[in-house]
């Protein structure tokens, strides 16, 4: 029996649907295609959710279209090669996609050009849509959710937990790929790679630049300490230039700073070993973190108070 709710013609070529049709949930609720049109349209329109439905409604199964991604340069390059990668789209669906690379450029640059972000930095087998990561960063800034909670929520998106999706996303927590994406996103929004002298996001737009008074707020957290035996990073933090003062500059300032009490009427704030027992700070290389804000709650910089 053929129900009236099912389509009788393809919405693209208007041919009659006889045995089965293809419905694309990503194209819209009324996007019903015949098999030929579904393949032709989605050959270049990738990462859509397609299902094949029998006209009687008794059988529903996924409709697979071979996904191939390659840039214009790779198409004409003689050193091109392909790899089959798992792609997580911005809707959370997983796809097996054949992506073409070449030896003229690194695989990472090719993936970024295709709006994809690798889960691992070297020879990734899984890549994620950058729009999905942009969504996570926005939700984290506004809702303060962790990446683990984001993965759990997205795996329940279809109503049934998607263990494969959760496993793919959790791989990012085992590397610094997510932190690298945040840094990459910061570079895009601040235009540092294009205009090195542009500081639109580094300075408060409302604070006076020439005349006027600026009020600063200072605070410290002496619970953020670092042991002398702790390992050292091989490189500086990714945002050390615009958020943190170099530790060498802080040490030089503290060594030359006169912390003697100049007057009894003034309760000068004296940071350093005077505030705590030397026995407790003997094994610490960093004894606190200071931060400054403008009067408009705009972060200026952080620096670590090192033990002298």
> Do 131 and 165 belong together in one domain?
yes
- pLDDT computed for residue 308 by the predictor: 41
Domain, as residue range, for 45: 1-64
Residues 226, 247 contacting (CB under 8 angstroms): no
> Do 73 and 148 belong together in one domain?
yes
Q: How far apart are CA 162 and CA 171, in angstroms?
A: 15
273 beta partners:
none
- pLDDT computed for residue 305 by the predictor: 54
- Residue corresponding to tokens 């295709």: 114
- pLDDT computed for residue 81 by the predictor: 92
Tokens linked to 157: 């998106």
Report the predicted TM-score, pTM, of the whole model to 2 decimal places.
0.68
Q: Which of 19, 45, 64 is the last residue of a domain?
A: 64
- pLDDT computed for residue 303 by the predictor: 55
> Do 226 and 303 belong together in one domain?
yes
Tell me whether residue 196 is in a domain: no
- pLDDT computed for residue 205 by the predictor: 63
Count Cβ atoms within 10 A of the Cβ of residue 218 and give its class: 0-12 exposed, 13-18 middle, 19 or more buried.
exposed
Q: Which of 42, 64, 86 is the last residue of a domain?
A: 64
Tell me whether residue 176 is in a domain: yes
> Do 100 and 53 belong together in one domain?
no
CATH of the domain at 34: 2.10.110
Tell me whether residue 275 is in a domain: no
Contacts of 44 (CB under 8 A, 6+ apart): none
In tens digits, the chain (308 residues) has pLDDT values of 344 567 888 888 988 888 889 988 888 888 899 989 998 888 888 888 888 888 776 778 888 888 888 888 888 888 999 999 989 888 888 888 999 999 888 899 899 999 999 988 788 899 999 999 999 888 888 888 888 788 778 777 766 667 777 777 777 877 788 888 888 888 787 776 666 666 655 566 666 667 777 777 777 777 777 777 776 666 666 666 666 777 778 778 877 877 666 666 655 555 544 455 556 666 777 777 777 775 554 445 555 555 44
> Do 71 and 185 belong together in one domain?
yes
Contacts of 188 (CB under 8 A, 6+ apart): none
> Do 137 and 219 belong together in one domain?
no
- pLDDT computed for residue 72 by the predictor: 86
> Do 224 and 303 belong together in one domain?
yes
Q: How far apart are CA 100 and CA 83, in angstroms?
A: 6
Residues 105, 89 contacting (CB under 8 angstroms): no
Q: How many domains does the chain have?
A: 3
Burial 238-254 (b: 16+ CB within 10 A, else e): eeeeeebeebeebeeee
Tell me whether residue 271 is in a domain: no
- pLDDT computed for residue 289 by the predictor: 78
Q: How far apart are CA 33 and CA 107, in angstroms?
A: 35
Residues 105, 120 contacting (CB under 8 angstroms): no
Tell me whether residue 276 is in a domain: no
- pLDDT computed for residue 68 by the predictor: 87
> Do 35 and 116 belong together in one domain?
no
> Do 143 and 79 belong together in one domain?
yes
Tell me whether residue 267 is in a domain: no
Tokens linked to 282: 């003997």
């Amino acid at each position: 029996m053929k129900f009236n709710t099912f389509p009788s013609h393809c919405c693209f070529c208007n041919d009659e649907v006889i045995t089965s049709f293809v419905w694309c949930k990503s194209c819209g609720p009324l996007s019903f295609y015949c098999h030929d049109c579904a393949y032709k349209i989605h050959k270049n329109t990738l990462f859509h959710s397609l299902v094949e439905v029998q006209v009687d409604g008794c059988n529903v199964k996924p409709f697979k279209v071979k996904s191939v991604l390659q840039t214009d340069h790779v198409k004409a390059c003689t050193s091109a090669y392909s790899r089959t990668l798992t792609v997580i789209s911005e809707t959370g669906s997983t796809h097996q996609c054949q992506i073409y690379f070449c030896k003229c450029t690194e695989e990472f640059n090719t993936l970024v050009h295709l709006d994809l972000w690798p889960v691992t930095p070297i020879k990734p087998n899984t890549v994620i849509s950058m729009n999905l990561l942009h969504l996570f960063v926005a939700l984290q800034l506004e809702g303060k959710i962790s990446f683990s909670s984001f993965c759990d929520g997205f795996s329940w998106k279809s109503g049934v937990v998607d263990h494969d999706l959760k496993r793919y996303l959790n791989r990012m927590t085992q590397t610094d790929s997510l932190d690298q994406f945040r840094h990459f996103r910061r570079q895009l929004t601040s235009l540092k790679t294009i205009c090195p002298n542009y500081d639109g996001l580094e300075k408060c737009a409302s604070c006076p630049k020439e005349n006027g008074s600026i009020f600063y707020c200072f605070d410290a957290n002496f619970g953020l300490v670092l042991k002398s035996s702790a390992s050292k990073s091989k490189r500086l933090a990714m945002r050390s230039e615009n958020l943190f003062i170099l530790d060498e500059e802080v040490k030089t300032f503290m060594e030359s700073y006169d912390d003697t009490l100049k007057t009894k009427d003034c309760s000068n704030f004296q940071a350093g070993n005077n505030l705590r027992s030397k026995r407790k700070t003997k094994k610490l290389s960093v004894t606190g973190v200071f931060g400054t804000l403008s009067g408009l709650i705009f972060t200026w910089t952080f620096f670590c108070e090192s033990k002298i």
